[in-house]
Structure formats: C-alpha cells, structure tokens
Amino acid sequence: MLTPATAERIVQDILHQKFGFFPVDRTLVDEVSGQWLAFVQRRIKTGDAADWLFTNEGEEESDVGLVVKSGETHQYGQYDHKLLFQNSVRLRRQLARKDLAAADWVFLAQHRVLMEHVQRVELRLLEELERLTGESGIVGSVIRSALKPIPYAMSTLRALVYQAVAGQKGAQKHLDRGFLTLHSGDVNGRLVYFDGPDDDSPKPIDVPSGYGVAFPGIKWLWVFAGKYQPLWHGAEVTSDGERVAHPYFSHVELCGYMVRDFRAALQDFHSTFLPLMQQGQYHWRMA
Ligand SMILES: [Fe+2]
C-alpha cells in the first residue's frame, strides 16, 4: 500500500504536472495481459464476440463487456481499431447465468483482481486529493459509481488491445470522460500528452518499469471549477505488434449533467457551468 508521503507526491504531480506515476503489481498486470489476449483469440475462434456486449441501463451505446471498434465513423470523427473489455457489476450479473468455458472464468476472475488492486491505489490517492485540495465528497461519489452503474459514469477497468492492422495509429488526442484515469500495463505502445487542445506535438510519457500513470479526465473541471486542468493525451503504437493496456476509469456523479462526449462536455463546461460556478450558483456534488 502507498505510504502517506508517496500518495502525497503522486497527487501533487497530478495537480501540478497533470500526471503522476503510481506503483503497480507487474506480475498481476502481465498475467492479466496474457489472459486478455487469449480471451480475444477465443472470441475470434468461436465468433461469439457479440455475446459479450451489454448496455448499461440509461445509456444508448453498449459499452459493458467486450466492445469491438473497427475504424467506423461516428458523429465526431472515426473510431480507433481496437478491442476493449470493461468489467462491471452488471456484466458479472449477466454472465453468472451463462455457461462459460473455464478459461473465460479465469480471465474474468483475474481481471477483477487487477481492478480491485488498482481501486485500492485509487482510493488512497483520492483521499489524499481531498486532503490537499479541501474538496470533499470525491471518495464517496467514486465508490458509488463503482458499486452501482450510473449512466455514462461507470467506474471500470478496461482491457485494451490495439490490433496490428494497416493504418493503426493508436489513440488520437482527447480528454478522458471520467474523473481520474489510472493507466497501467502498456505493451508495444505508450501514452503521449499535449500541452492543450491546440498543441499538435505529442510528448511521450515515459512510465518507469513497475509503475502506471494517473491523470485527470474532464470531470476534474467540474470538481475543481477549472482550477486544475485535465490531461490532453493520446497513445502511440511503438512496434508492429498488438498494443495492450489496462486503463482504469473512475467517475464522480455530476449534479444535473452526464458526460457523453468530451468535446460537447468541454463546450458545456465553459458556456454554462463555469459561469454558474463563478456566480456561486452551481456545485458538482449532488444535493
Ligand atoms: Fe484516454
């Protein structure tokens, strides 16, 4: 577990440099990465990827379980070429009724162990964040979003694979939709950051071995009224192989607002919420 001094240093880095490195159990991460690639191979072999996709109550897009993106165009541009798996209470409830192969249960169990490992680090960091900023209610809100699916605000560990396809570019410049992301286990790729939305020069984040990187998503703007900024970032594929990574997305529930898309949310924050906050007429916590 993190010592108080380590937790404080990581949170100070996140507040002032927009990212910080946290220690992670590398053996566990490597184990889950192997299980995850084998899980994807089984889906390709059996052709049952669609059976692993679920929709959260109150959402329009399906993003629980296994999601396959193949460069399709959408409202704001084009999806990456990737497969992702998102764990949740709802997914486990749905799967409990199915007759799964033993190897699939092993993957689900291992993935959950990694999720709980990262959640413990995260909660420690969030306690420290509350202490350093004086902003209360973050820990409680994040725990609620992990235990009960809230539309567009599900805290979850995502297993990610960027396939080795022609034109694979990794992830384009974006903000995460959540509050805090804890990203670990990057293989054949790396995160890059940008100084802001207008910066087009990606700068690599060199994560030390045995560490993951934690950084703020867009909900940071609501919680800190724009005082601290989220990290503009993307990802590069650094070799011809498949890129694997395990980001954990944590959410807080925002009073009266759901973040469906980061671009629209950024606009809404500046045009509606920030002016209200400056007049003392809005606070992110639910009443
Ligand atoms: Fe991201």
Ordered by start, the domain boundaries in the chain are 4-254
Predicted TM-score (pTM) of this structure: 0.91
- What is the CA(36)–ligand 1 centre distance, in A? 19
- Out of 3.30.390.30, 1.10.1060.10, 2.170.16.10, 2.60.120.330, select the CATH number for domain 4-254: 2.60.120.330
**Bridge partners, residue 194, by sequence:** 232
165 contacts: CB under 8 Å, gap ≥ 6: 81
- What is the CA(286)–ligand 1 centre distance, in A? 26
What is the reported pLDDT for 77? 62
- Is residue 142 predicted with pLDDT exceeding 90? yes
Q: Return the percentage of the chain with pLDDT > 70, whole number.
A: 94
What is the reported pLDDT for 72? 65
Per-residue pLDDT of 101-113, as tens digits, reads 899 999 999 999 9
Higher-scoring residue by pLDDT: 46, 9? 9
- What is the CA(232)–ligand 1 centre distance, in A? 8
- What is the CA(99)–ligand 1 centre distance, in A? 33
Higher-scoring residue by pLDDT: 9, 94? 9
Strands (E) across the chain are located at 20-23, 53-54, 64-70, 73-74, 77-78, 81-86, 156-162, 171-174, 180-187, 189-194, 203-204, 211-216, 232-237, 243-250
- Is residue 16 predicted with pLDDT exceeding 70? yes
Per-residue pLDDT of 108-133, as tens digits, reads 999 999 999 999 999 999 999 999 99
Two structure tokens written together for 264 = 């629209």
What is the reported pLDDT for 203? 97
Higher-scoring residue by pLDDT: 62, 181? 181
- Is residue 164 predicted with pLDDT exceeding 90? no
